[in-house]
Amino acid sequence: MSDKTASVTIDDKTFEFPLKDGSVGPSVVDISTFYSKTGHFTYDPGFTSTGSCESKITYIDGDKGVLLYRGYPIEQLTMEGDFLETCYLLLYGDLPTPAQKRDFDNRVTRHTMVHEQMTRFFSGYRRDAHPMAVMVGTVGALSAFYHDSIDISDPHQRMIASLRMIAKMPTIAAMAYKYSIGQPFIFPKNDLDYASNFLRMCFAVPTEDYEVNPILARAMDRIFTLHADHEQNASTSTVRLAGSSGANPFACIAAGIACLWGPAHGGANEAALNMLAEIGTVDRIPEYIARAKDKNDPFRLMGFGHRVYKNYDPRARIMQQTTHEVLSVLGHQDDPLLHVAMELEKIALSDPYFVEKKLYPNIDFYSGITLRALGFPTNMFTVLFALARTVGWIAQWKEMIEDPHQKIGRPRQLYTGAPRRDYVPIDKRG
Ligand code: SDX
Protein backbone atom coordinates (compact mmCIF):
# COMPACT_ATOMS: atom_id res chain seq x y z
CA MET A 1 0.00 0.00 0.00
CA SER A 2 1.32 3.52 -0.76
CA ASP A 3 1.09 6.35 1.82
CA LYS A 4 -0.21 8.61 -0.96
CA THR A 5 -3.91 9.31 -1.53
CA ALA A 6 -6.09 10.67 -4.34
CA SER A 7 -8.57 13.44 -3.53
CA VAL A 8 -11.97 13.71 -5.23
CA THR A 9 -14.16 16.76 -4.56
CA ILE A 10 -17.91 16.51 -5.26
CA ASP A 11 -20.26 19.37 -4.32
CA ASP A 12 -17.56 21.04 -2.18
CA LYS A 13 -16.97 17.82 -0.26
CA THR A 14 -13.53 16.19 -0.63
CA PHE A 15 -12.97 12.46 -0.36
CA GLU A 16 -9.61 10.70 -0.03
CA PHE A 17 -8.84 7.35 -1.64
CA PRO A 18 -5.63 5.40 -0.98
CA LEU A 19 -3.10 4.62 -3.72
CA LYS A 20 -1.68 1.09 -4.05
CA ASP A 21 1.73 0.54 -5.66
CA GLY A 22 2.55 -2.49 -7.80
CA SER A 23 6.01 -4.04 -8.17
CA VAL A 24 6.27 -2.42 -11.63
CA GLY A 25 3.88 -0.27 -13.66
CA PRO A 26 1.28 2.34 -12.70
CA SER A 27 -0.04 2.58 -9.16
CA VAL A 28 -3.81 2.27 -8.69
CA VAL A 29 -6.35 4.38 -6.84
CA ASP A 30 -8.34 2.04 -4.61
CA ILE A 31 -11.95 3.17 -5.21
CA SER A 32 -13.61 0.13 -3.62
CA THR A 33 -15.25 2.48 -1.04
CA PHE A 34 -16.10 5.18 -3.62
CA TYR A 35 -19.86 4.49 -3.67
CA SER A 36 -20.19 4.01 0.09
CA LYS A 37 -18.28 7.28 0.71
CA THR A 38 -19.62 9.48 -2.13
CA GLY A 39 -22.94 7.92 -3.17
CA HIS A 40 -21.62 7.98 -6.77
CA PHE A 41 -20.43 5.23 -9.07
CA THR A 42 -17.32 5.59 -11.20
CA TYR A 43 -17.85 5.10 -14.93
CA ASP A 44 -15.41 3.46 -17.36
CA PRO A 45 -17.05 1.53 -20.26
CA GLY A 46 -14.47 -0.85 -21.76
CA PHE A 47 -12.41 -0.51 -18.56
CA THR A 48 -9.80 1.62 -20.33
CA SER A 49 -8.63 3.08 -16.98
CA THR A 50 -9.83 0.41 -14.55
CA GLY A 51 -7.86 -2.35 -12.86
CA SER A 52 -10.17 -5.29 -12.11
CA CYS A 53 -7.83 -7.24 -9.84
CA GLU A 54 -4.34 -7.63 -8.40
CA SER A 55 -2.27 -10.21 -10.26
CA LYS A 56 1.27 -11.62 -10.22
CA ILE A 57 1.08 -13.49 -13.51
CA THR A 58 1.64 -11.24 -16.56
CA TYR A 59 2.80 -7.66 -17.02
CA ILE A 60 2.54 -5.54 -20.16
CA ASP A 61 4.16 -2.15 -20.73
CA GLY A 62 2.18 -0.97 -23.77
CA ASP A 63 4.34 2.10 -24.38
CA LYS A 64 7.60 0.14 -24.35
CA GLY A 65 6.23 -2.99 -26.05
CA VAL A 66 7.16 -5.19 -23.08
CA LEU A 67 5.47 -8.50 -22.14
CA LEU A 68 6.60 -10.46 -19.06
CA TYR A 69 5.27 -13.83 -17.86
CA ARG A 70 6.02 -13.99 -14.11
CA GLY A 71 8.77 -11.42 -14.79
CA TYR A 72 10.45 -13.30 -17.67
CA PRO A 73 10.47 -11.50 -21.09
CA ILE A 74 8.38 -13.21 -23.74
CA GLU A 75 11.33 -13.04 -26.16
CA GLN A 76 13.47 -15.22 -23.86
CA LEU A 77 10.71 -17.70 -23.02
CA THR A 78 9.82 -18.32 -26.69
CA MET A 79 13.46 -18.65 -27.79
CA GLU A 80 14.94 -20.52 -24.80
CA GLY A 81 12.14 -22.67 -23.40
CA ASP A 82 9.09 -24.63 -24.55
CA PHE A 83 5.35 -24.15 -24.09
CA LEU A 84 4.94 -26.62 -21.23
CA GLU A 85 7.74 -24.84 -19.34
CA THR A 86 5.74 -21.62 -19.79
CA CYS A 87 2.61 -23.47 -18.59
CA TYR A 88 4.46 -24.54 -15.43
CA LEU A 89 5.74 -20.96 -14.95
CA LEU A 90 2.29 -19.39 -15.33
CA LEU A 91 0.65 -21.94 -13.01
CA TYR A 92 3.29 -22.20 -10.27
CA GLY A 93 5.08 -18.81 -10.50
CA ASP A 94 8.67 -20.00 -11.16
CA LEU A 95 10.60 -21.84 -13.86
CA PRO A 96 10.67 -25.60 -13.14
CA THR A 97 13.80 -27.53 -12.15
CA PRO A 98 14.67 -30.36 -14.59
CA ALA A 99 12.91 -32.86 -12.30
CA GLN A 100 9.83 -30.64 -11.95
CA LYS A 101 9.72 -30.17 -15.75
CA ARG A 102 9.91 -33.93 -16.39
CA ASP A 103 7.16 -34.56 -13.82
CA PHE A 104 4.93 -31.80 -15.22
CA ASP A 105 5.38 -32.94 -18.84
CA ASN A 106 4.57 -36.48 -17.75
CA ARG A 107 1.45 -35.42 -15.82
CA VAL A 108 0.18 -33.41 -18.80
CA THR A 109 0.93 -36.27 -21.21
CA ARG A 110 -1.08 -38.67 -19.06
CA HIS A 111 -4.20 -36.49 -19.46
CA THR A 112 -4.14 -35.97 -23.25
CA MET A 113 -6.80 -38.60 -24.06
CA VAL A 114 -10.47 -37.63 -23.79
CA HIS A 115 -13.35 -39.77 -22.52
CA GLU A 116 -14.36 -42.12 -25.37
CA GLN A 117 -17.95 -40.85 -25.12
CA MET A 118 -16.59 -37.58 -26.57
CA THR A 119 -16.44 -39.22 -29.97
CA ARG A 120 -20.20 -39.77 -29.81
CA PHE A 121 -20.67 -36.23 -28.49
CA PHE A 122 -18.98 -34.92 -31.64
CA SER A 123 -21.36 -36.88 -33.88
CA GLY A 124 -24.13 -34.44 -32.87
CA TYR A 125 -22.41 -31.52 -34.62
CA ARG A 126 -22.85 -30.67 -38.28
CA ARG A 127 -19.64 -31.32 -40.22
CA ASP A 128 -19.67 -27.71 -41.45
CA ALA A 129 -20.01 -26.18 -37.96
CA HIS A 130 -17.38 -23.51 -37.25
CA PRO A 131 -14.66 -25.22 -35.14
CA MET A 132 -14.96 -22.45 -32.54
CA ALA A 133 -18.64 -23.34 -32.05
CA VAL A 134 -17.51 -26.94 -31.53
CA MET A 135 -14.87 -25.84 -29.02
CA VAL A 136 -17.33 -23.76 -26.98
CA GLY A 137 -19.81 -26.64 -26.86
CA THR A 138 -17.31 -29.41 -26.22
CA VAL A 139 -15.26 -27.63 -23.54
CA GLY A 140 -18.46 -26.50 -21.84
CA ALA A 141 -19.54 -30.16 -21.79
CA LEU A 142 -16.33 -31.37 -20.10
CA SER A 143 -17.93 -30.87 -16.69
CA ALA A 144 -20.42 -33.52 -17.79
CA PHE A 145 -17.54 -35.96 -18.35
CA TYR A 146 -15.14 -35.10 -15.52
CA HIS A 147 -17.28 -34.75 -12.38
CA ASP A 148 -14.29 -35.65 -10.17
CA SER A 149 -12.50 -32.33 -10.78
CA ILE A 150 -15.14 -29.63 -10.49
CA ASP A 151 -15.08 -28.98 -6.74
CA ILE A 152 -13.25 -25.65 -6.83
CA SER A 153 -12.79 -25.64 -3.05
CA ASP A 154 -10.44 -28.65 -3.31
CA PRO A 155 -6.87 -27.62 -4.34
CA HIS A 156 -6.20 -31.13 -5.64
CA GLN A 157 -9.28 -31.03 -7.90
CA ARG A 158 -8.34 -27.52 -9.06
CA MET A 159 -4.93 -28.80 -10.17
CA ILE A 160 -6.38 -31.90 -11.85
CA ALA A 161 -8.88 -29.72 -13.74
CA SER A 162 -6.03 -27.37 -14.75
CA LEU A 163 -3.90 -30.23 -16.06
CA ARG A 164 -6.88 -31.77 -17.85
CA MET A 165 -7.64 -28.50 -19.63
CA ILE A 166 -4.04 -27.93 -20.74
CA ALA A 167 -3.66 -31.55 -21.81
CA LYS A 168 -6.99 -32.06 -23.56
CA MET A 169 -7.33 -28.82 -25.51
CA PRO A 170 -4.97 -30.02 -28.31
CA THR A 171 -6.86 -33.32 -28.52
CA ILE A 172 -10.26 -31.58 -28.68
CA ALA A 173 -8.97 -28.96 -31.16
CA ALA A 174 -7.57 -31.69 -33.41
CA MET A 175 -10.87 -33.60 -33.14
CA ALA A 176 -12.76 -30.45 -34.18
CA TYR A 177 -10.51 -30.15 -37.24
CA LYS A 178 -10.67 -33.84 -38.19
CA TYR A 179 -14.46 -33.86 -37.74
CA SER A 180 -14.81 -30.85 -40.07
CA ILE A 181 -12.90 -32.60 -42.88
CA GLY A 182 -14.51 -36.01 -42.40
CA GLN A 183 -11.33 -37.79 -41.32
CA PRO A 184 -11.06 -40.18 -38.34
CA PHE A 185 -9.80 -38.88 -35.02
CA ILE A 186 -6.12 -39.55 -34.31
CA PHE A 187 -5.19 -40.55 -30.76
CA PRO A 188 -2.41 -38.66 -28.94
CA LYS A 189 0.95 -40.44 -28.62
CA ASN A 190 2.73 -40.30 -25.27
CA ASP A 191 6.20 -40.32 -26.81
CA LEU A 192 5.66 -36.99 -28.62
CA ASP A 193 6.13 -33.50 -27.23
CA TYR A 194 3.09 -31.25 -26.88
CA ALA A 195 3.31 -29.40 -30.22
CA SER A 196 4.38 -32.48 -32.22
CA ASN A 197 1.49 -34.45 -30.71
CA PHE A 198 -0.94 -31.74 -31.76
CA LEU A 199 0.37 -31.48 -35.33
CA ARG A 200 0.24 -35.26 -35.67
CA MET A 201 -3.35 -35.46 -34.33
CA CYS A 202 -4.31 -32.82 -36.93
CA PHE A 203 -2.45 -34.02 -40.00
CA ALA A 204 -1.78 -37.76 -39.62
CA VAL A 205 -4.10 -40.37 -41.16
CA PRO A 206 -4.44 -44.00 -40.00
CA THR A 207 -3.35 -45.31 -43.39
CA GLU A 208 0.27 -44.22 -43.20
CA ASP A 209 3.05 -43.14 -40.85
CA TYR A 210 3.39 -39.42 -40.14
CA GLU A 211 6.66 -37.76 -39.22
CA VAL A 212 6.39 -34.29 -37.63
CA ASN A 213 8.86 -31.77 -39.05
CA PRO A 214 10.81 -30.64 -35.93
CA ILE A 215 11.21 -27.08 -37.26
CA LEU A 216 7.44 -26.78 -37.77
CA ALA A 217 6.80 -28.35 -34.34
CA ARG A 218 9.18 -25.79 -32.79
CA ALA A 219 7.33 -22.98 -34.59
CA MET A 220 3.96 -24.34 -33.36
CA ASP A 221 5.30 -24.58 -29.82
CA ARG A 222 6.57 -21.00 -30.02
CA ILE A 223 3.17 -19.79 -31.29
CA PHE A 224 1.54 -21.44 -28.27
CA THR A 225 3.94 -19.66 -25.89
CA LEU A 226 3.30 -16.30 -27.58
CA HIS A 227 -0.45 -16.67 -27.02
CA ALA A 228 -0.32 -18.16 -23.49
CA ASP A 229 -1.42 -15.16 -21.39
CA HIS A 230 -1.95 -11.42 -21.66
CA GLU A 231 -3.12 -9.73 -18.44
CA GLN A 232 -6.84 -8.95 -18.10
CA ASN A 233 -7.85 -9.05 -21.80
CA ALA A 234 -11.52 -9.53 -22.68
CA SER A 235 -11.54 -13.33 -22.59
CA THR A 236 -9.46 -13.58 -19.42
CA SER A 237 -11.76 -11.07 -17.72
CA THR A 238 -14.68 -13.23 -18.87
CA VAL A 239 -13.10 -16.31 -17.28
CA ARG A 240 -12.46 -14.42 -14.03
CA LEU A 241 -16.00 -13.06 -13.92
CA ALA A 242 -17.52 -16.49 -14.59
CA GLY A 243 -15.21 -18.03 -11.98
CA SER A 244 -16.14 -15.39 -9.39
CA SER A 245 -19.63 -16.93 -9.16
CA GLY A 246 -18.10 -20.34 -8.29
CA ALA A 247 -18.78 -21.87 -11.72
CA ASN A 248 -16.68 -24.95 -12.49
CA PRO A 249 -13.40 -24.41 -14.39
CA PHE A 250 -14.57 -26.13 -17.58
CA ALA A 251 -17.59 -23.81 -17.82
CA CYS A 252 -15.33 -20.79 -17.17
CA ILE A 253 -12.92 -21.79 -19.94
CA ALA A 254 -15.86 -22.32 -22.32
CA ALA A 255 -16.95 -18.74 -21.52
CA GLY A 256 -13.43 -17.54 -22.32
CA ILE A 257 -13.46 -19.39 -25.65
CA ALA A 258 -16.79 -17.78 -26.55
CA CYS A 259 -15.42 -14.29 -25.81
CA LEU A 260 -12.13 -14.93 -27.65
CA TRP A 261 -14.08 -15.78 -30.82
CA GLY A 262 -14.95 -12.13 -31.52
CA PRO A 263 -13.07 -10.50 -34.45
CA ALA A 264 -11.95 -7.60 -32.22
CA HIS A 265 -10.16 -10.14 -30.00
CA GLY A 266 -8.94 -13.65 -30.82
CA GLY A 267 -10.99 -13.82 -34.00
CA ALA A 268 -8.68 -11.17 -35.48
CA ASN A 269 -6.18 -13.73 -36.80
CA GLU A 270 -8.89 -15.32 -38.96
CA ALA A 271 -10.18 -11.85 -39.92
CA ALA A 272 -6.65 -10.59 -40.70
CA LEU A 273 -5.95 -13.42 -43.12
CA ASN A 274 -9.36 -12.98 -44.76
CA MET A 275 -8.56 -9.26 -45.11
CA LEU A 276 -5.16 -9.99 -46.72
CA ALA A 277 -6.87 -12.39 -49.12
CA GLU A 278 -9.54 -9.76 -49.93
CA ILE A 279 -6.85 -7.13 -50.61
CA GLY A 280 -5.17 -9.78 -52.76
CA THR A 281 -2.45 -7.69 -54.36
CA VAL A 282 -0.10 -4.92 -53.25
CA ASP A 283 -1.62 -2.36 -55.64
CA ARG A 284 -4.97 -2.55 -53.79
CA ILE A 285 -3.49 -1.65 -50.40
CA PRO A 286 -4.08 2.15 -50.70
CA GLU A 287 -7.81 1.51 -51.23
CA TYR A 288 -8.01 -0.43 -47.94
CA ILE A 289 -5.85 2.04 -46.03
CA ALA A 290 -8.29 4.77 -47.12
CA ARG A 291 -11.24 2.67 -45.95
CA ALA A 292 -9.58 2.05 -42.57
CA LYS A 293 -9.22 5.83 -42.14
CA ASP A 294 -12.77 6.63 -43.27
CA LYS A 295 -14.93 7.28 -40.21
CA ASN A 296 -18.03 6.37 -42.24
CA ASP A 297 -16.59 2.99 -43.14
CA PRO A 298 -16.70 0.33 -40.38
CA PHE A 299 -13.70 -1.40 -42.00
CA ARG A 300 -10.63 -1.69 -39.78
CA LEU A 301 -7.22 -3.09 -40.60
CA MET A 302 -7.48 -6.45 -38.85
CA GLY A 303 -4.28 -7.32 -37.03
CA PHE A 304 -3.54 -3.65 -36.30
CA GLY A 305 -4.06 -1.72 -33.10
CA HIS A 306 -4.30 -2.79 -29.50
CA ARG A 307 -5.96 -1.52 -26.34
CA VAL A 308 -2.67 -1.68 -24.43
CA TYR A 309 0.21 -1.76 -26.93
CA LYS A 310 0.84 1.75 -28.21
CA ASN A 311 4.12 0.45 -29.54
CA TYR A 312 4.95 -2.66 -31.53
CA ASP A 313 3.38 -5.79 -29.98
CA PRO A 314 6.53 -7.74 -28.95
CA ARG A 315 4.73 -10.93 -29.92
CA ALA A 316 4.23 -9.63 -33.46
CA ARG A 317 8.00 -9.28 -33.94
CA ILE A 318 8.59 -12.87 -32.85
CA MET A 319 5.60 -13.99 -34.92
CA GLN A 320 7.00 -12.24 -37.99
CA GLN A 321 10.35 -14.03 -37.53
CA THR A 322 8.55 -17.36 -37.08
CA THR A 323 6.52 -16.70 -40.21
CA HIS A 324 9.66 -16.32 -42.31
CA GLU A 325 11.19 -19.49 -40.78
CA VAL A 326 8.09 -21.57 -41.50
CA LEU A 327 7.63 -20.22 -45.03
CA SER A 328 11.29 -20.88 -45.89
CA VAL A 329 11.11 -24.46 -44.55
CA LEU A 330 7.95 -25.05 -46.57
CA GLY A 331 9.27 -23.24 -49.63
CA HIS A 332 6.45 -20.68 -49.52
CA GLN A 333 8.69 -17.57 -49.38
CA ASP A 334 6.78 -16.27 -52.37
CA ASP A 335 3.41 -16.49 -50.63
CA PRO A 336 1.54 -13.53 -52.17
CA LEU A 337 -0.24 -12.90 -48.89
CA LEU A 338 3.11 -12.46 -47.17
CA HIS A 339 4.07 -9.82 -49.72
CA VAL A 340 0.75 -8.05 -49.19
CA ALA A 341 1.23 -8.26 -45.40
CA MET A 342 4.77 -6.86 -45.48
CA GLU A 343 3.82 -4.03 -47.87
CA LEU A 344 0.69 -3.24 -45.84
CA GLU A 345 2.76 -3.10 -42.65
CA LYS A 346 5.31 -0.78 -44.28
CA ILE A 347 2.66 1.57 -45.69
CA ALA A 348 0.55 1.60 -42.51
CA LEU A 349 3.54 2.31 -40.26
CA SER A 350 4.44 5.38 -42.32
CA ASP A 351 0.88 6.69 -42.67
CA PRO A 352 0.20 9.66 -40.32
CA TYR A 353 -3.22 8.26 -39.34
CA PHE A 354 -1.69 5.04 -37.97
CA VAL A 355 1.32 6.80 -36.53
CA GLU A 356 -0.79 9.36 -34.64
CA LYS A 357 -3.16 6.69 -33.30
CA LYS A 358 -0.20 4.37 -32.49
CA LEU A 359 -1.70 1.53 -34.47
CA TYR A 360 0.98 -1.14 -34.81
CA PRO A 361 0.67 -4.73 -36.03
CA ASN A 362 -0.44 -7.01 -33.21
CA ILE A 363 0.14 -10.73 -32.78
CA ASP A 364 -2.78 -11.56 -35.05
CA PHE A 365 -1.25 -9.82 -38.06
CA TYR A 366 1.34 -12.48 -38.89
CA SER A 367 -0.05 -15.52 -37.07
CA GLY A 368 -2.65 -16.21 -39.76
CA ILE A 369 -0.04 -16.43 -42.53
CA THR A 370 2.02 -18.87 -40.46
CA LEU A 371 -0.92 -21.05 -39.51
CA ARG A 372 -2.12 -21.20 -43.12
CA ALA A 373 1.40 -22.25 -44.18
CA LEU A 374 1.35 -24.98 -41.50
CA GLY A 375 -1.76 -26.36 -43.20
CA PHE A 376 -4.58 -25.08 -41.01
CA PRO A 377 -7.77 -23.71 -42.59
CA THR A 378 -8.60 -20.12 -41.64
CA ASN A 379 -11.50 -21.14 -39.39
CA MET A 380 -9.07 -23.09 -37.17
CA PHE A 381 -6.88 -20.05 -36.36
CA THR A 382 -8.85 -18.86 -33.32
CA VAL A 383 -9.10 -22.45 -32.11
CA LEU A 384 -5.29 -22.51 -31.91
CA PHE A 385 -5.37 -19.18 -30.05
CA ALA A 386 -7.86 -20.70 -27.55
CA LEU A 387 -5.70 -23.83 -27.21
CA ALA A 388 -2.68 -21.73 -26.25
CA ARG A 389 -4.59 -19.23 -24.07
CA THR A 390 -6.16 -21.98 -21.96
CA VAL A 391 -3.14 -22.05 -19.63
CA GLY A 392 -3.41 -18.27 -19.14
CA TRP A 393 -7.12 -18.50 -18.43
CA ILE A 394 -6.56 -21.37 -15.98
CA ALA A 395 -3.67 -19.60 -14.21
CA GLN A 396 -5.72 -16.40 -13.83
CA TRP A 397 -8.80 -18.38 -12.70
CA LYS A 398 -6.67 -20.25 -10.12
CA GLU A 399 -5.17 -16.97 -8.86
CA MET A 400 -8.66 -15.51 -8.43
CA ILE A 401 -10.07 -18.60 -6.65
CA GLU A 402 -7.08 -18.68 -4.29
CA ASP A 403 -7.40 -14.95 -3.47
CA PRO A 404 -8.96 -14.84 0.04
CA HIS A 405 -10.46 -11.42 -0.75
CA GLN A 406 -12.13 -12.41 -4.02
CA LYS A 407 -15.88 -11.87 -4.30
CA ILE A 408 -18.42 -12.21 -7.09
CA GLY A 409 -17.88 -9.59 -9.81
CA ARG A 410 -20.91 -7.34 -10.13
CA PRO A 411 -20.39 -3.96 -11.87
CA ARG A 412 -22.94 -1.13 -11.52
CA GLN A 413 -24.15 1.25 -14.30
CA LEU A 414 -25.24 4.72 -15.32
CA TYR A 415 -29.00 4.32 -15.82
CA THR A 416 -30.46 6.57 -18.55
CA GLY A 417 -33.68 4.62 -19.17
CA ALA A 418 -37.28 5.52 -18.24
CA PRO A 419 -37.96 6.61 -14.64
CA ARG A 420 -40.70 4.70 -12.73
CA ARG A 421 -44.02 4.63 -14.59
CA ASP A 422 -47.27 2.67 -14.14
CA TYR A 423 -48.41 -0.23 -16.32
CA VAL A 424 -51.01 0.58 -19.01
CA PRO A 425 -53.44 -2.25 -19.85
CA ILE A 426 -53.20 -3.22 -23.52
CA ASP A 427 -56.79 -2.13 -24.25
CA LYS A 428 -55.84 1.39 -23.11
CA ARG A 429 -52.80 1.75 -25.37
CA GLY A 430 -52.87 3.82 -28.52
C1 SDX B 1 -6.11 -9.35 -29.39
O2 SDX B 1 -6.51 -7.19 -25.01
C3 SDX B 1 -5.63 -8.04 -25.40
O4 SDX B 1 -4.60 -8.24 -24.79
C5 SDX B 1 -5.99 -8.82 -26.64
C6 SDX B 1 -4.92 -9.73 -27.21
C7 SDX B 1 -4.61 -10.87 -26.29
O8 SDX B 1 -3.51 -11.42 -26.41
O9 SDX B 1 -5.50 -11.28 -25.51
O10 SDX B 1 -3.74 -8.99 -27.44
C11 SDX B 1 -5.37 -10.33 -28.54
O12 SDX B 1 -7.29 -9.28 -29.30
C13 SDX B 1 -5.31 -8.42 -30.28
C14 SDX B 1 -6.22 -7.37 -31.00
C15 SDX B 1 -6.81 -8.06 -32.21
N16 SDX B 1 -7.83 -7.22 -32.85
C17 SDX B 1 -7.63 -6.68 -34.04
O18 SDX B 1 -6.59 -6.74 -34.68
C19 SDX B 1 -8.88 -6.01 -34.62
C20 SDX B 1 -8.49 -4.63 -35.17
N21 SDX B 1 -8.11 -3.79 -34.07
C22 SDX B 1 -9.16 -2.91 -33.52
O23 SDX B 1 -10.43 -3.48 -33.51
C24 SDX B 1 -8.71 -2.20 -32.25
O25 SDX B 1 -7.45 -1.76 -32.46
C26 SDX B 1 -8.75 -2.95 -30.94
C27 SDX B 1 -10.09 -3.53 -30.66
C28 SDX B 1 -7.73 -4.03 -30.93
C29 SDX B 1 -8.41 -1.93 -29.84
O30 SDX B 1 -9.40 -1.01 -29.85
P31 SDX B 1 -9.44 0.16 -28.74
O32 SDX B 1 -8.31 0.12 -27.80
O33 SDX B 1 -10.81 0.16 -28.14
O34 SDX B 1 -9.14 1.38 -29.60
P35 SDX B 1 -10.24 2.19 -30.33
O36 SDX B 1 -11.19 1.23 -31.00
O37 SDX B 1 -10.78 3.19 -29.39
O38 SDX B 1 -9.41 2.89 -31.49
C39 SDX B 1 -8.71 4.08 -31.22
C40 SDX B 1 -8.73 4.81 -32.56
C41 SDX B 1 -10.14 4.91 -33.14
O42 SDX B 1 -10.15 6.08 -33.92
P43 SDX B 1 -10.86 7.41 -33.25
O44 SDX B 1 -12.28 7.00 -32.87
O45 SDX B 1 -10.02 7.73 -32.01
O46 SDX B 1 -10.80 8.44 -34.33
O47 SDX B 1 -7.95 4.06 -33.51
C48 SDX B 1 -8.80 3.61 -34.58
C49 SDX B 1 -10.24 3.73 -34.10
O50 SDX B 1 -11.11 3.99 -35.18
N51 SDX B 1 -8.43 2.22 -34.84
C52 SDX B 1 -8.27 1.69 -36.04
C53 SDX B 1 -7.90 0.36 -35.80
N54 SDX B 1 -7.85 0.13 -34.48
C55 SDX B 1 -8.20 1.28 -33.89
N56 SDX B 1 -8.43 2.21 -37.30
C57 SDX B 1 -8.17 1.35 -38.33
N58 SDX B 1 -7.79 0.05 -38.17
C59 SDX B 1 -7.65 -0.47 -36.94
N60 SDX B 1 -7.27 -1.74 -36.79
Tell me the mean pLDDT per 10 residues along the chain, length 430: 88 96 96 97 96 97 95 97 98 98 97 93 96 97 85 88 96 98 97 98 97 95 98 98 95 97 92 93 94 93 91 91 90 85 89 91 89 93 97 97 92 96 96
Residue 40 among the catalytic residues: no
* Residue 364 is a catalytic residue: yes
Rounded to 10 degrees, the C-alpha dihedral 313/409/52/19 comes to: 180
| Element spanning 168, H or E | helix 155-180
Look at residue 334 in the predicted model and tell me its pLDDT: 81
Helix axes 363-374, 214-226, angle to 10 degrees: 150
Do residues 392 and 236 lie in contact, with contact meaning Cβ atoms separated by under 8 Å?
yes
Does the C-beta of 360 come closer than 6 Å to ligand 1?
no
Q: How many angstroms separate the Cα of 44 from the Cα of each of 92, 221, 282, 414?
A: 33, 37, 40, 10
Strand, coil or helix: what is 359? coil
Pocket test for ligand 1, best of 44, 300, 317 (most atoms within 8 A of CB): 300
pLDDT in tens, 271-301: 999 999 999 999 999 999 999 999 999 999 9
250 C-alpha to center of ligand 1: Å?
29
Q: What are the DSSP calls for 315-338, one per residue?
A: HHHHHHHHHHHHHHHHT-TT-HHH
Pocket test for ligand 1, best of 55, 67, 304 (most atoms within 8 A of CB): 304
For ligand 1, atom 2, which residue shows the shortest CA distance?
Answer: 233
Cβ 42 vs Cβ 51: under 8 Å:
no
Ligand 1 atom nearest to 357, measured from its CA:
47
Annotated catalytic residue: which of 111, 227, 230, 306? 306
Q: Is the CB of 386 under 6 A from ligand 1?
A: no
* Predicted pLDDT at 28: 97
